Structure 1
Amino acid sequence: MMSTQTEVLNELLQAAPDYCSGDQLAQALAVSRTAIWKAIQGLQQAGYSIDSRHGRGYRYVANNQLSEPAITAGLTSSVQPTIIVLPTVDSTNAYLKRLISQQPLTQPTVVIADTQTGGYGRFGRTFYSPSETGIYLSIGLPIDATQPFDPGLLTTSTAVAVAKTLEQLFDVPVALKWVNDVLVNHHKAVGILSEATTDLETGQIATVIVGIGINLTTPTTAFPSALQVKAGAVTTTTAVTRNQVISTLLSKFFDSYATYTSGDFMTDYRRLSMVIGQTVDLQSGGQVIHGVVQDISDTGALIVKQATGEIHQYTSGEITKVNLQTGDYHG
């Protein structure tokens, strides 16, 4: 059963940007005006911006406070995931793993945190996760053994969903570095990490966790010195709230997830790719491959032509160096 606070917030979210009178709220929720006033006070103390005006009532004003009801209200996908918002956590991926170990997921579940104390990316690298300026979330997806599943395409489609979200909401140049780094203004602004958990009895993948970390407004000077050359934020300042970014991203993610195994997003991925046609160093399977990226296949594999003229496809690995003909990115 929802608390009066949550019910009031939902009513205000539906009415926003218009006002709701105290009488309207009291009648809609079948509670007293005093209960409404107490709920408004509680929401304000929790960090919500609720504008109060004599004769008009109350109005929700979007701010930087992470909010499950605000995120849910902004979803446009037919999928309605369970959303858990936390003030702080070691890692949203780790939190979901613990959750799954206690009870297998039966529906998509999203964990979002204001800050992470132990955020991590590929190869166990630390993901810097300060409060208020970033978005740190993990999407838990129950996997049906009878349905097709492709971890490479899922990661690739996630990168496209993130990039299209940033293109839509912010006036910034977005590029993808194979396989899952999202760059804004030649700096890595987003990290994506997919992990799987298996069913102990069957040995089959039971759940996939897709972790997404976005440096939204984190100043470059706030990053640890070792990261300042390559890491960056999406923007320095914005009126777009984190809740709006998350709602848009989750909507695009779940819309794409319904058909991602078809690779129908690959046209967008190629359009956004910063490596097609570029000379790269690719670390894969304990070796370093030097060559020119010819294309990216419909299954997300990197197609590289080496100096010998040989052309090979790589489904995993990391591009450690990109020599761009133009632009400011070096690394």
Structure 2
Amino acid sequence: MTPRDAADDNGSRWSDLDRPPLNATALRRALVREGGLWSSLEVTGRTGSTNNDLVALAAAGKAAEGAVLVAEEQTSGRGRLDRRWTAPPRSGLFFSVLLDPAEVPVARWGWLPLLTGVAVATGLSRAAGVDTALKWPNDLLVTVGGEERKAGGILAERAGGNGIVIGVGVNVTLRADELPVPQAGSLALAGARGTDRDPLLRAVLRSLEDWYGRWRAAGGDPGASGLQETYAAGCATLGRVVRAELPGDRSVVGEAVAVDGDGRLVIATEEGVQEPVGAGDIVHLRPA
């Protein structure tokens, strides 16, 4: 990666000294090793979407399981349902990974975004000293001024017959005047003890490797791997009254009481019905 590759809109990679570029060589040295999950790691200065790029590479047979693609800036970052995700250059962690758990039944692959959420929250809590929580199905929450704010999101996409690409976006150093919406947050605004993105990314990817290994060794069983229990313990959605907005103008209102073995949110309605809602079916999940 050349200095120009990592340049921002002003043409200088050093124009914001509070946001130094990632060190791709050091990251590869720390994470890519024989016998480990991560097979390659590339850092690009600017791209539309790391998920789009990695899906294309996988489809073309140019990326193996464990490939990691990181961007200093994404111009067309996406969340679920193609919702936009934008942030200033080098202000966060924007990356995608390629996983191919061929030995795990495809019916259990729906746990991968939830597994990634647990791994990201665990890694950031250790490396940044910030209390994090998970909003089902794919948001990372931090507390800013006593209020829960979204600081990150996860997007999983199939890469044809070549596994699944999982994209992660986390706001690290966004200042209050840079937030895209008032409900957003960042690690810095949440009082992180460190915002150096190199150790943060190392911690997140090591945590993801650990959780993915446990889940895969258990054949994708969320109970046997400890994933279901850990996710529930860190899920801020559980115990709250929510409204799940579904396609066709249908909604389900009730208390979120559990995440079932298929990764669905179980909502107990006033009528005494426990209705599971899948991540792929939901349009919005809001407090009721």
**Corresponding residue number in structure 1 for 2:6:** none
Q: Distance in 2 between matches of 1:241 and 1:223?
A: 19
- Structure 1 unpaired stretches of 5+: 6-44, 48-62, 200-205, 324-331
1:301 aligns with 2:254: no
Structure 2 residue corresponding to 1:148, chosen from 89, 102, 105: 105
Match for 1:223: what amino acid? L
Structure 1 residue corresponding to 2:185, chosen from 221, 227, 232: 232
Mapping of 1:189-204 within 5 angstroms? Answer: 189-199=151-161
1:74 aligns with 2:45: no
Mapping of 1:144-293 within 5 angstroms? Answer: 144=102, 146-149=103-106, 150-185=108-143, 186-199=148-161, 206-224=162-180, 227-228=181-182, 230-236=183-189, 239-260=194-215, 261-263=220-222, 264-286=226-248, 287-293=250-256
Deviates more, 1:101-110 or 1:83-92: 101-110
1:313 aligns with 2:259: no
- Structure 2 unpaired stretches of 5+: 3-11
User: Once the 2 structures are TM-superposed, how far is the Cα of residue 103 of structure 1 from its aligned partner?
Assistant: 2.2
The percentage of counterpart residues that share the same residue type is 25
Contact 1:129 1:136 in 2 (8 A): no
Q: CA RMSD in A?
A: 2.4
Q: Distance in 2 between matches of 1:166 and 1:107?
A: 23
User: Once the 2 structures are TM-superposed, how far is the Cα of residue 293 of structure 1 from its aligned partner?
Assistant: 1.1
Distance 1:302-1:147 versus aligned 2 partners, 3 A rule? closer
Deviates more, 1:86-95 or 1:290-299: 290-299
Poorly superposed stretches of 4+, deviation over 6 Å: none
Contact 2:24 2:41 in 1 (8 A): yes
**Corresponding residue number in structure 2 for 1:121:** 79
Match for 1:189: what amino acid? A
**Corresponding residue number in structure 1 for 2:8:** none
Larger Rg: 1
Match for 2:66: what amino acid? P
Distance 1:321-1:79 versus aligned 2 partners, 3 A rule? same
Give 1 or 2: higher helix fraction. 1
Instruction: Provide Cα deviations, 1:46-82, integer angstroms capped at 9, x if missing partner.
Output: 87xxxxxxxxxxxxxxx83212222133339832321
1:322 aligns with 2:287: yes
Match for 1:67: what amino acid? N
- SS class of match (2:31): coil
User: Once the 2 structures are TM-superposed, how far is the Cα of residue 102 of structure 1 from its aligned partner?
Assistant: 2.7
What TM-score, normalized to structure 1? 0.71
Q: Distance in 2 between matches of 1:148 and 1:82?
A: 25
Contact 2:243 2:285 in 1 (8 A): yes
